[in-house]
Amino acid sequence: MSDTIVTLRDVTADTVVAVCDLETNEDQKHFVAPNALSIAQAHFSPIARFQAVFAGETPVGFLMWRPQDDGSVCYLWRFMIDRHHQNRGYGRAALTLLFASARSDGFKRMLTSYVVGDAGPHAFYIKLGFRDTGESRPNGERLMDLAL
């Protein structure tokens, strides 16, 4: 676990290339879209919000989420920590910040979904407090749920 301070920051003209250069390990690539694609998709989904994960002054990851339904539920759509920066507690720190922010915005629950497979994020999400709902999205991803 690193002592480096983790923050969530808006992606800017100065950081967008570095954020798009972040990538997962090869065997993790089918679990999350490239950040450039996520940022492109966000421009066609006006309710989506995305931020970079910084460790100190270094961009190390990316997350994207959107409100869902009546405004009490939000959905973590994309989340990744760059392969060079994994297993240092940055993923946990980033989601802990996101939970606090969503809570203060009035959200009561956060959903996410994951692709089933070896080296997938399911066990990570369980450690962060998500629980399986038993449901799947139309694309086959399994849904998880967290009370904020």
13 near ligand COA, judged by CB under 6 A: no
DSSP state of 121: S
Give the separation between CA 2 and CA 39, rounded to whole angstroms: 28
Give the Cβ contact number of residue 23 at 10 Å: 15
Per-residue binder mask for ligand COA (CB under 6 A), 45-64, x = binder? --------------------
CB-nearer residue toward ligand COA: 52 or 80 = 80
Q: Apex CA 61: angle with CA 17 and CA 110, to 5°?
A: 125
Instruction: Point out which span in 14-22, 36-44, 96-104, 116-124 binds ligand COA (CB under 6 A).
Output: 116-124
Q: State yes or no: residue 42 binds ligand COA (CB under 6 A).
A: no
The yes or no reply on residue 66 touching ligand COA (CB under 6 A) is: no
Count of beta carbons in the 10 Å neighbourhood of residue 94: 25
* Separation of alpha carbons 47 and 49, rounded Å: 7
Does 87 contact ligand COA by CB under 6 A? yes
Q: Which residues make up the interface to ligand COA (CB under 6 A)?
A: 24, 28, 31-32, 78-81, 86-92, 114, 119, 121, 123-124, 127
